[in-house]
Homo-oligomer: A and B are copies of this chain.
């Protein structure tokens, strides 16, 4: 089950690791766009933009459809649910880890206090 998602996470996090692609996603969240429109907005050749769109498509984050000579790009069916869940789960482990440390610190404080009060006797 965990294994199943591995490849998906590789490609989706990989897709998100580029500023241009994150920008394209945000742009497409506003409105669908052609390759030409995206290429202009991000100051890049058509070919370059097409590659980025390809990466996003592979990751399942974008779908495209060609009508006539125009290929229109839209947000894909996946909305980063699993990725959000992975990060959320990690954040829980992460904070549990720090709570644990906090507990240790608390424990030390308590011992210190006890020692001090013992000395004071």
Contact = CB atoms under 8 A, between A and B. Distances in A.
A17 B25 contact: no
Interface string A88-113: 10110111110000000000000000
A90 B97 contact: no
A26 B80 contact: no
Contacts of A95: 79
B90 A87 contact: no
Contact of A22 (B9, B79, B91): B9
A22 B3 CA distance: 12
A13 interface: yes
A11 B75 CA distance: 24
Contacts of A91: 79-81, 84
A13 B88 CA distance: 14
Nearest to A91: B79
5 contacts: A9-B17, A9-B19, A29-B93, A29-B96, A84-B84
